[in-house]
Structure 1
Amino acid sequence: MLGLLRWTFWITIWVIVAAFFHYTLPQVDIVRITDTYEKRQDFGENSIFWAQADVGTDGTLANRDVFFIQTRRAGGDVMVYRNEDTGWGWPPYFKFDTSNLQAEASDLRSLEADARYVALKHYGWRNEFLTIFPNAISVRPVAGPDAAKGIPWTNIIILTLFFAIVWAIWVRWRRFRRARIDPTLEAIEDDLAETSNGISAWFASWRKKA
């Protein structure tokens, strides 16, 4: 039972870590921009999935105008992105150029008959039920729907550093456990065994007297 709880705990921890990185790290989609627009958005229980107001504006309002970018993927699937500043907050993309990015996206709109594809970098998830959208970071024209997305160097570096830190902590924890915790536990077990043997001998002596 203890082993099952331990496995459940660690699986839960790693699922949370994987979800955190999947949401936060940048991803690239090859899409065709069909429209761009601005919409007043009311924030409720899903407010954690929205960035802050544009830097220099009032971020305490319960609603505000948000830029959106409508796209279609090469296979025909629709994907909608929000376009918000991240500023100095989290995730640390230091994005301050929301209006410029919206202008670039508007300039790259195209119809299916004369399709122009772009590589749109973003982070976050799209969920219709929770009404959340990935946040666009940058956009650049590409040759076509089969264009290469590029090597995700940022993701590789961050994940490599993360696992290197985890490995270093784990190695040091094992050394500390072998040097300090395991000998202490063994000493406690030995003391308990001696105490148990002493108690058993004491009861045995009383049985002999009886």
Structure 2
Amino acid sequence: MRYVKWTVLTLLGLFVFGFLHYTLPQRDIVRIVNTDVRRIDFGENSIFWASPDVGTDTTSANRDVRFIEAIRPNGKPIVYRNEDTGWGWPPYFKLDSSNLQAEARDMVSTSDNPKWVALKHYGWRSEFLTIYPNAVGVKQVAGPDVRLIPWTSLFVLILLALALVFLWRLWAQFRERTIDPLLEDVEETWDAVDDRADAARDRAKGWWGRMRDRLSGARKPPHK
């Protein structure tokens, strides 16, 4: 059972880590090289795409999606989608994809005259699953080596840690007041049952012992 317990806890921890890593905002230092709009037919990976722009048709099987193409400081390419999140999950309440596309288009630069930007996003890039992180903001920075503190993610993680501690304290108090006394009562009941069982066995042994003694006495030959 110990291995099962730790396996379940490990899987739960990995799920929580993956959920937070996908949902919490991250910022990449990149150089934007192009913006594009593509018609996307959604399939098995549709869960990794956001909803259509607020106010547009949501029943279509395909739609146009804005993309931002960029280059990292190490020269590797990265592509972001630019979709509204609306009022759904994750709660970025992003309604300005068109404005963000215009800002990104204005920051396009070349390798000869680079313009480095901090592109805020959530989600993952997977070529195997054909999924892209969703851009939620962009701003120009001094250079590719700038260091940015993820204040939003830190704030959310601190709140989650405090909530976890609070729930743990509630559980500890509930266990101390309710579960532990109940377990003690059950343990005392089982002890009483064991004591009665031991007493019954002792009485049975005594009875059988007396019976053996009587039978042994009856089988002994009389003294001459």
Instruction: Quote the residue 1:131 is aligned against.
Output: 130
Secondary structure in 1 matching 2:112: helix
| Alignment partner, residue 207 of structure 2 | 209
Instruction: Please give the alpha-carbon distance, in whole angstroms, between the structure 2 residues aligned to 1:63 and 1:51.
Output: 12
Question: Percent of aligned pairs with the same residue?
Answer: 52
How far has the Cα of 1:73 moved from its partner?
0.4
| Partner residue in 1 for 2:161 | 163
Aligned match of 1:200:
198
Q: How far 1:16 sits from its partner (Å)?
A: 1.2
Larger radius of gyration: 2
- Displacement of 1:155 in angstroms is 1.1
Q: Hey, what's the Cα distance between the residues in 2 that align with 1:140 and 1:203?
A: 83
TM-score w.r.t. length of structure 2: 0.89
Specify the alignment match of 2:47 in structure 1.
Answer: 48
Tell me which stretches of 4 or more aligned residues in structure 1 moved more than 4 Å.
Answer: none
Cα deviation for residue 99 of structure 1 reads 0.9
**Structure 2 match to 1:117:** 116
Residue 34 of structure 1 deviates from its aligned partner by 1.0
AA at the equivalent of 2:116: Y
Q: Equivalent of 2:186, from 181, 185, 188? A: 188
RMSD of aligned alpha carbons: 1.2
**Separation in 2 of the partners of 1:84 and 1:159?**
25
Paired with 2:53 and 2:95, the residues of 1 have a C-alpha distance of: 7
Q: Aligned-pair distance for 1:147?
A: 2.2
In 2, the alpha carbon distance for the partners of 1:148 and 1:188 equals: 59
1:57-136 equivalences under 5 Å are 57-136=56-135
- Work out the CA distance in 2 between the residues paired with 1:115 and 1:108: 9
Which of 169, 173, 177 aligns to 1:175? It is 173
Distance of 2:166 and 2:140 partners within structure 1: 41
Structure 2, unaligned runs of 5 or more? 209-224
Distance 2:146 2:176 in 1: 52
